[in-house]
């Protein structure tokens, strides 16, 4: 283990699933304090509120749940039950300590999620669709495990949205009548207390329903 506290640059530089497991195993214990609180991280709040405002309800899968930041906001807003999935078992351990999740599912969403078809009425994800992490391809797997009419709220880093081809993916899903009511809202990832080169970064929250 490195003695250096992991940071955003490390996360954005990930190249493989094993890199992700290694980084987040190291970061899990103090992620909430060393990153979320210190950087005034707000994206999980925007994502959860957008999901609820769009009429989202449980059962919900929190994709890339990490330490449970987004799930905690959903719980506070009265949403449940909520399951968590993440590539990092260590992050899921921290999430389950918050006592907000029904179940934890350790999985690489690029490889699939061991969940039955049509399991969830809602899918949320905050901070997973970003540099060094996950592109648009796993959206197909998320649609598989979502019920007809399920509400989605996926945050996607704005720069990564353009680089990774999310617009093309959503257009194709609409053409194929697999999703409906697509809306994109751009929000700030960090609050006014943030500092550093990424303090003004934004993300799109993609809201849509499974057709």
- Collect the ranges in the chain with pLDDT lower than 50: 1-3, 6-11, 13-15, 19, 28-29
Percentage of the chain surpassing pLDDT 90? 67
Report CA 70 to chain centroid distance, whole Å: 8
Q: What is the rounded average pLDDT for all residues in the chain?
A: 86
Q: How far apart are CA 172 and CA 191, in angstroms?
A: 34
For residue 108, which of 130, 137, 88 has the smallest C-alpha distance?
88
Instruction: Give me Rg for the CA atoms of the chain.
Output: 16
Q: What is the pLDDT of residues 34-91, one digit of tens each?
A: 555 567 889 999 999 999 999 999 999 999 998 899 999 999 999 999 999 998 888 8
pTM of the model: 0.86
DSSP state of 36: I
| 3-state SS track over 78-104 | CCCCEEEEECCHHHHHHHHCCCCCCEE
Helices (DSSP H) in 5-121: which residue ranges?
Answer: 8-12, 17-27, 31, 43-53, 69-76, 89-96
- Fold for domain 8-210? Rossmann fold (3.40.50)
Q: How far apart are CA 184 and CA 208, in angstroms?
A: 9
Q: Where are the domains of the chain?
A: 8-210
Q: How far apart are CA 208 and CA 211, in angstroms?
A: 9
């Amino acid at each position: 283990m490195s003695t250096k506290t992991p940071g955003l640059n490390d996360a954005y530089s990930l190249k493989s699933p094993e890199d992700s497991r290694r980084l987040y195993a190291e970061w899990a214990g103090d992620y909430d304090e060393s990153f979320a609180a210190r950087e005034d991280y707000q994206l999980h709040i925007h994502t959860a509120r957008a999901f609820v405002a769009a009429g989202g309800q449980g059962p919900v899968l929190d994709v890339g749940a990490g330490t449970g930041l987004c799930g905690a906001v959903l719980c506070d807003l009265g949403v449940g039950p909520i399951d968590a999935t993440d590539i990092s078992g260590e992050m899921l351990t921290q999430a389950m300590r918050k006592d907000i999740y029904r179940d934890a599912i350790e999985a690489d969403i690029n490889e699939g999620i061991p969940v039955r078809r049509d399991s969830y009425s809602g899918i949320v994800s905050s901070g997973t669709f970003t540099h060094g992490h996950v592109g648009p391809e796993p959206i197909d797997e998320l649609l598989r495990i979502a019920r007809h009419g399920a509400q989605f709220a996926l945050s996607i880093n704005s720069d990564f949205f353009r680089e990774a081809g999310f617009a093309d993916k959503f257009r194709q899903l609409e053409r194929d009548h697999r999703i409906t009511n697509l809306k994109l809202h751009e929000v700030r990832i960090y609050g006014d207390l943030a500092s550093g080169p990424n303090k003004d970064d934004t993300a799109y929250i993609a809201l849509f329903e499974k057709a």
